[in-house]
Amino acid sequence: MARPQPQPSKTGLSSSKLATERLHKGYARSMEITKVLADERSQYQQIRISDTVANGRVMTLDDIVQITSRDESAYADMLTHLPMLEHGKVERVMIVGGGDLSIADEALKHKGVKEVVLVDIDGRVIELCKKLFGEINAKAFRDKRLKLEVADAFEYLGRKSSRNRFDLIIADRPDPVGPGKALFGETFYDRIKYALRKGGYATFQTGVPFYQPWEITEALEELSCFFPRSGLYLTVVPTYIGGYMALSWATKGGKPLGTKAGLNRFAWDMRVQGPVHVPKLAMWHASTLGPVAIPGQYKARLTVNGKAVTQPIEIVANPNVKLTQAQLREQFDLAMAVNRELSEVQNAVLEIRQLHEKLAEVRKEANGKDAIVQSADALDAKVGALEDKLTQKLSVANEDPLNFPIRLNNQLASLALTVGTGDNPPTAQARQEFDDLKAQATSLLAEWNQLKSGDLAGFNTQIGQAKLRQITITPHVATGI
């Protein structure tokens, strides 16, 4: 059972009978140990398994508690059974990490499951847990449906054999530091999507909100770039410091996790779908909301089990607004045109970010092949120069736009705010500004498409000849209504 794992405490164990965990800065807690059953360093981490007075059998990795025999079910059950019950027909499950097999044990309780693939980078954790946590995982180890892979889960997800393979992927991951960094971020979620079947679900350990609120924010922002439907739910694991533990979810075409049968309410803010979202990007005087729908007749469509039911909806004009329907339509049409252009630019920014990350992977896999590394560097630099024209990479915090000039996406988002504010027909200046920005976007997007079809295609040929995995770029999806 994975826990957030910061850098190991310098003090480690405070005595032979008292284990002290310092997971969060300025806070510590201790467990009284009755017997140390294993204490060794693997290739990746310090593994310690002990019997304790209050928490049963406990495993720590680098002095951070991962699992206790007393409350492991509060974590494993919630990551596993909720998505499996929501899906209803899960056959193939992948577990990222989870070397103690507590999650595998829960998944295998479902009779319809044909295969559970557990991929953990540290084989020694699996061996010690098989020996010392039999009360939790003995049945799982005997089950012929279980397949154990001692491998890098990030690499495993990207294999051709993983494509559209799994109905459920459970990321029992550590904190985003050291080797665990690969199990966070856009490239990881891209690979999760690649390995999921249509209608499949993925669930993720996402930290403790009380001490790690940023981890939740970043995970939800990044998930929204790849999955139209994603969200968060909570569990309580008494051993884990900080109260509630956050678990995030995403689905590749399934219904939202936790949807109840019967009457459900949805409040529409009367906005249409907004542009593709770019996480960790601060903008100045801008809006990335979709335009507000104008008065008129609409239809609400509810689809259940492949059957659709529609219901007419009418948006009535505000009697205080003294504009004609034609004038409102002019405002809406320009707002939509800006929205579409911004979405195209944002999508290019996210694709470029993917390429940066994947080029970094190629450099690692190249193993000293200088020609490939040099080609990767050249392509990275060329793409980076284009990225600088599309977005301000240094603008992350809200005050950053005061220090760094805004780029094309911010200019479009600023125009979207101007056009969409109030009830007014668009001005000639707004139309001219849009024409100018659209011309810039058309030119830069053409340059990006040329890079993909030319430079990237050539680079893929080069790395393919070297037997390295070629780079694919996944288009992003807009979220919203």
Cβ–Cβ < 8 Å for 342, 413:
yes
- Please give the Cα distance from 130 to 142 (Å, whole number): 11
Q: Tell me the HSE value of 408 on the side-chain side, using a 13 A CA sphere.
A: 28
Which residues partner with 35 through β-bridges?
51
The residue type of 300 is A
Strands 296-304 and 244-251, by their bridges, are unpaired
Active site residue 172: yes
Cβ–Cβ < 8 Å for 208, 47:
no
Give the residue ranges of DSSP H helices in 230-269: none
Across the beta sheet with 18-21, the strand order is 18-21, 29-41, 46-52, 57-61, 64-68
- Please give the Cα distance from 157 to 171 (Å, whole number): 11
- Please give the Cα distance from 76 to 65 (Å, whole number): 15
Which residues partner with 48 through β-bridges?
39, 60
Cβ–Cβ < 8 Å for 104, 149:
no
Cβ–Cβ < 8 Å for 407, 292:
no
Cβ neighbour number for residue 268 with a 10 Å cutoff: 11
Cβ–Cβ < 8 Å for 148, 118:
yes
- Please give the Cα distance from 204 to 174 (Å, whole number): 10
Contacts for 421 with CB less than 8 Å, ≥ 6 apart: none
**Angle (CA) 229 281 428, round 5°:** 95
Contacts for 225 with CB less than 8 Å, ≥ 6 apart: 186, 189, 276, 277, 278, 279, 350, 476, 477
Q: Which of 100, 120, 172, 175 is catalytic?
A: 172
Catalytic positions are: 172
